[in-house]
């Protein structure tokens, strides 16, 4: 998942002007955000950054933006692209520095002190964005450029930037009267605070739940590394020897659901996960209701019939109906596949004399048993070949062969946590510096769940023609290594690592000229194309043989196991597709609501389940109280469908690689130029068609997931 915050338009008019900036900087002479970074490649100097630096730097950044925006607004010259758009994009240097670092660390290495700062930090930041996007004088300059965009000699990427900015201003309330603008500001502030509360509740609820095992017989079936980590967790909690602690974090939760022979343990874990943050001290249900009501008011104020219409208006889908149409083309064959899978699992359980009817907490477990029975494949055996370091070698090898880049570790580079690894990314032929890439792969209590990519510094072209090169990072939540065993990944986790690295490549290889179009600054339903297409290389035999080595013996993965991976690649595709599509459909139904009072969230979930005919043996990939994508921010609200929208593109696109050769240099060069380097500089479908030669259809996705008839 791409988590980058878009900051190129984040400017404000609420500071104290130049005098205020000078005073702030005088009081904070040691604040690293208020100085030029002197570190290698301008990596943030994490060892110098303290919690007390964030708010003063934010306020100084806001004040500096005020002065820069005033200069733009007071410019008596006719608006031009340079004196308006370029000046606007270059007006947020200090603000970008502090917000990018704070947003990254608040999610990946948080603390009670960081959480307290966040409660003041994000509302201030939100207010600063509102103020500038509702600045009438600034909007008039952008409107002039918009009205004259076709007769000012602008390049295509400049015209697109002007059109995008104009629409963003309108969507942010530029056409509202003063009373309406204030109302919109209040809505945005309320939403910012609600997102903070949702995320705080979710992190606390996740960390509050645990299962303590004292009987070793209950560990039957679990992988050795999972048991070892659970024992270490018990030790950390002071529980002593002979106890094991399992948590809701994915490296602990998923092996229990997939391998634990103890059905009660599986049920306990499943219910703990699917009811988290839905009651008690960390209940997110009231927060969700406030979010839904505030979003509906905001959409109505801006002239939209619902929040879903507002969120889909400026992306490839254009309407909620178009997104639903795509999802239903996938949903129907996925449900049919689920019924086949459940039938196979029930038959196996019956043969074993289990005396059960398959329930949701049995799905992972019996799906794994069916895989072992059908393909003679044990994923525990496979894990031994997928140590984190080996898989990292694989993604670097893939990038080198496709795009001619190499990764060299920088052991002395600044890092925000000891487990982070930093790389210098260079052109393999010329040694030209391209980017900095950081990896942070292991779960810890200070890190929220999931996996994502973001940046500490973006990419753009300076007015003098020189380029700023990016600092990109990937975050994961894989099982940490133990004293005698490295972190070993499941098949899904290997795909996740390739996925987030694909986002990383999008950021690292960007050559778009403008900050607002560089890297992952693309339409929300296009941003997952680079991440998802790179998943296809993860288990290609040609690449597997180069990186999948046994962590003990160094043996290359046997051909027999490669064949089993290929044969079972579409196993459980019904479940994997239906839980994802179900969540995306639930998200869209939330977007269509216009509630004036509280909604019974769990009853609403059930009504959507019934309406779409969700099989009883599964649930949504994310239930509402922990659906961070759509309630932890507005980033994927009415947009969770984008993973599948982009999969239509990535599966169709990868078929060209299969046709030409998965490391065909011409095809790779075209993908690099038209997708990775171009960013948001052109219409995404035009870029895709230039690469692929035609528009995609859903057929390739259905073929890839084994859902085609």
**115 within some domain:** yes
Distance of CA 613 to the CA centre of its chain: 28
Same domain? For 72 and 165 the reply is yes
**222 within some domain:** yes
Confidence of residue 3 (pLDDT cuts 50, 70, 90): low
- Kindly state the tokens that stand for 499: 């996925």
- Quick one: average pLDDT of 58-71? 96
Confidence of residue 402 (pLDDT cuts 50, 70, 90): very high
Same domain? For 120 and 60 the reply is yes
Best-predicted range by mean pLDDT (7-21, 419-433, 448-462): 419-433
- Quick one: average pLDDT of 612-623? 96
Q: How far apart are CA 661 and CA 656, in angstroms?
A: 8
Asked if 324 contacts 588 with a C-beta cutoff of 8 angstroms, the reply is yes
Per DSSP (E only), the strands in 146-286 are 210-213, 244-247
23: pLDDT strictly greater than 50: no
What does each C-alpha distance from 443 to 238, 447, 481, 487 come to in angstroms? 19, 7, 10, 11
22: pLDDT strictly greater than 80: no
9: pLDDT strictly greater than 50: no
Same domain? For 44 and 135 the reply is yes
Same domain? For 159 and 239 the reply is no
Q: How far apart are CA 154 and CA 632, in angstroms?
A: 38
3-state secondary structure 670-694: HHHHHHHCCCCCCCHHHHHHHHHCC
Same domain? For 214 and 129 the reply is no
- Quick one: average pLDDT of 673-692? 97
Strands 421-427 and 405-409: antiparallel
**498 within some domain:** no
Same domain? For 30 and 160 the reply is yes
Among 253, 276, 299, identify where a domain stops. 276
The interaxial angle of helices 17-27 and 54-74, nearest 10 deg, is 160
Element counts in the chain: helices (H) and strands (E): 28, 9
3-state secondary structure 62-103: HHHHHHHHHHHHHCCCCCCHHHHHHHHHCCCHHHHHHHHHHH
**374 within some domain:** no
Looking at residue 13, its pLDDT comes to 25
Looking at residue 11, its pLDDT comes to 27
Q: How large a percentage of the chain has pLDDT more than 90?
A: 90
Q: In degrees to the nearest 10, what's the CA dihedral of 623, 628, 633, 635?
A: -90
**354 within some domain:** no
Q: How large a percentage of the chain has pLDDT more than 70?
A: 96
527: pLDDT strictly greater than 80: yes
Q: How far apart are CA 139 and CA 363, in angstroms?
A: 54
Kindly report the number of other CB atoms within 10 A of residue 385's CB atom.
Answer: 24
* Alpha-carbon radius of gyration of the chain: 25
Output the domain CATH number for residue 25.
1.10.1370.40
Residue 549: beta bridge partners? 556
Nearest Cα residue to 212 out of 237, 177, 178: 237
Same domain? For 237 and 117 the reply is no
Among 233, 251, 276, identify where a domain stops. 276
566: pLDDT strictly greater than 50: yes
**Residue that has been written with the tokens 């196996």 in this structure:** 348
508: pLDDT strictly greater than 50: yes
How confident is the model over 455-498, as pLDDT tens digits? Answer: 999 998 877 778 889 999 999 999 999 888 999 999 999 999 99
Looking at residue 572, its pLDDT comes to 94
- Kindly state the tokens that stand for 693: 């030669």
- Quick one: average pLDDT of 437-453? 93
Q: How far apart are CA 505 and CA 676, in angstroms?
A: 7
Q: How far apart are CA 679 and CA 474, in angstroms?
A: 19
Confidence of residue 26 (pLDDT cuts 50, 70, 90): very low
Same domain? For 31 and 129 the reply is yes
How confident is the model over 580-604, as pLDDT tens digits? Answer: 999 999 999 999 999 999 999 999 9
- Kindly state the tokens that stand for 61: 């950044």
Arithmetic mean of pLDDT over the chain: 93
Asked if 194 contacts 291 with a C-beta cutoff of 8 angstroms, the reply is yes
6: pLDDT strictly greater than 80: no
Q: How many domains does the chain have?
A: 2
| 441-453 burial code (b ≥16 CB/10 A, e <16) | bbbeebbbebbbb
Looking at residue 85, its pLDDT comes to 97
Among 276, 300, 334, identify where a domain stops. 276
Same domain? For 109 and 240 the reply is no
Q: How far apart are CA 287 and CA 200, in angstroms?
A: 11
Confidence of residue 525 (pLDDT cuts 50, 70, 90): confident
Non-local (6+) Cβ contacts of 352 within 8 A are none
Asked if 238 contacts 248 with a C-beta cutoff of 8 angstroms, the reply is no
Higher pLDDT among residues 182 and 129, named by residue: 182
**23 within some domain:** yes
Residue 341 appears among annotated catalytic residues: no
Kindly report the number of other CB atoms within 10 A of residue 423's CB atom.
Answer: 20
**352 within some domain:** no
Higher pLDDT among residues 258 and 1, named by residue: 258
Containing structural domain, residue 157 = 17-175
Looking at residue 28, its pLDDT comes to 62
305: pLDDT strictly greater than 50: yes
**95 within some domain:** yes
Question: Which one of 106, 500, 617, 682 is the catalytic residue?
Answer: 500
């Amino acid at each position: 998942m791409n988590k980058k915050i878009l900051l190129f338009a984040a400017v404000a008019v609420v500071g104290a002007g130049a005098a205020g900036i000078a005073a702030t900087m005088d009081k904070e002479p040691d604040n690293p955000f208020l100085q030029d970074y002197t570190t290698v490649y301008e990596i943030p100097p994490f060892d110098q950054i303290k919690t007390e630096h964030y708010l003063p730097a934010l306020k100084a950044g806001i004040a500096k933006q005020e002065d820069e925006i005033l200069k733009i607004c007071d410019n008596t010259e006719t608006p031009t692209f340079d004196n308006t758009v370029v000046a606007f994009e270059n007006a947020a240097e200090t603000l970008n520095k502090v917000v990018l670092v704070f947003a990254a660390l608040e999610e990946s290495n948080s603390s009670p002190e960081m959480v307290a700062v966040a409660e003041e930090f994000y509302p201030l930041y939100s207010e600063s964005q509102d103020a500038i996007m509702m600045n009438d004088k600034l909007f008039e300059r952008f409107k002039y450029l918009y009205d004259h965009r076709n007769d000012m000699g602008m390049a295509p990427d400049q015209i697109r930037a002007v059109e995008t900015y104009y629409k963003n201003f309108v969507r942010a309330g530029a056409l509202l009267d003063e009373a309406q603008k204030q109302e919109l500001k209040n809505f945005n502030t309320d939403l910012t605070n609600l997102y903070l509360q949702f995320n705080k509740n979710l992190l606390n609820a996740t960390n509050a739940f645990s299962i303590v095992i004292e009987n070793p017989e209950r560990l039957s079936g679990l992988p050795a590394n999972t048991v070892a980590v659970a024992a270490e967790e018990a030790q950390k909690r002071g529980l002593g020897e002979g106890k094991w602690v399992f948590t809701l974090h994915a490296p602990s939760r998923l092996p229990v659901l997939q391998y634990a022979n103890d059905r009660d343990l599986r049920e306990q874990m499943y219910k703990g996960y699917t009811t988290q943050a839905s009651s008690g001290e960390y209940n997110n249900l009231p927060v969700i209701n406030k979010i839904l009501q505030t979003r509906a008011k905001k959409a109505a104020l801006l002239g939209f019939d619902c929040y879903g219409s507002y969120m889909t208006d400026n992306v490839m889908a254009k309407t909620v109906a178009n997104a639903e149409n795509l999802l239903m083309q996938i949903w129907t064959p996925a449900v049919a596949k689920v019924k086949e899978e459940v039938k196979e699992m029930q038959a196996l359980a019956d043969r074993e004399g289990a005396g059960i009817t398959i329930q949701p907490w049995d799905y992972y477990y019996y799906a794994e048993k069916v895989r072992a029975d059908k393909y003679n494949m044990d994923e525990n055996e496979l894990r031994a070949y997928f140590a984190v370091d080996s898989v990292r070698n694989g993604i670097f090898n893939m990038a080198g062969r496709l795009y001619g880049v190499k990764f060299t570790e920088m052991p002395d580079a600044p890092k925000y946590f000891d487990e982070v690894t930093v790389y210098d990314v260079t052109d393999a032929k010329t040694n030209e510096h391209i980017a900095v890439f950081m990896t942070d792969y292991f779960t810890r209590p200070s890190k929220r769940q999931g996996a994502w990519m973001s940046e500490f510094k973006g990419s753009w072209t300076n007015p003098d023609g020189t380029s700023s090169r990016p600092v990109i990072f990937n975050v994961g939540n894989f099982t940490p290594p133990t004293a005698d065993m490295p972190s070993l990944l499941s098949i899904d986790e290997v795909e996740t690592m390739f996925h987030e690295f694909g986002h990383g490549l999008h950021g690292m290889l960007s050559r778009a000229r403008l900050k607002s179009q560089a890297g992952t600054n693309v339409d929300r339903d296009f941003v997952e194309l680079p991440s998802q297409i790179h998943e296809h290389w993860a288990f290609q035999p040609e690449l597997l043989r180069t990186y999948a080595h046994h962590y003990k013996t160094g043996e290359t993965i046997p051909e027999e196991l490669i064949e089993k991976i290929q044969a079972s690649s579409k196993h459980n595709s019904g479940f994997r597709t239906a839980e994802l599509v179900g969540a995306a459909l639930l998200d869209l139904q939330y977007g269509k609501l216009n509630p004036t009072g509280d909604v019974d969230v769990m009853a609403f979930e059930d009504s959507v389940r019934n309406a779409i005919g969700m099989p009883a043996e599964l649930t949504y990939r994310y239930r509402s109280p922990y659906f961070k994508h759509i309630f932890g921010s507005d980033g994927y609200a009415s947009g969770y469908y984008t993973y599948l929208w982009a999969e239509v593109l990535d599966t169709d696109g990868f078929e060209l690689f299969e046709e030409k050769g998965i490391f065909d240099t011409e095809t790779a060069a075209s993908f690099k130029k038209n997708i990775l380097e171009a960013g948001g500089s052109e219409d995404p479908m035009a870029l895709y068609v230039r690469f692929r030669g035609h528009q995609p259809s859903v057929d390739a996705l259905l073929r890839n997931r084994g859902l085609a008839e």
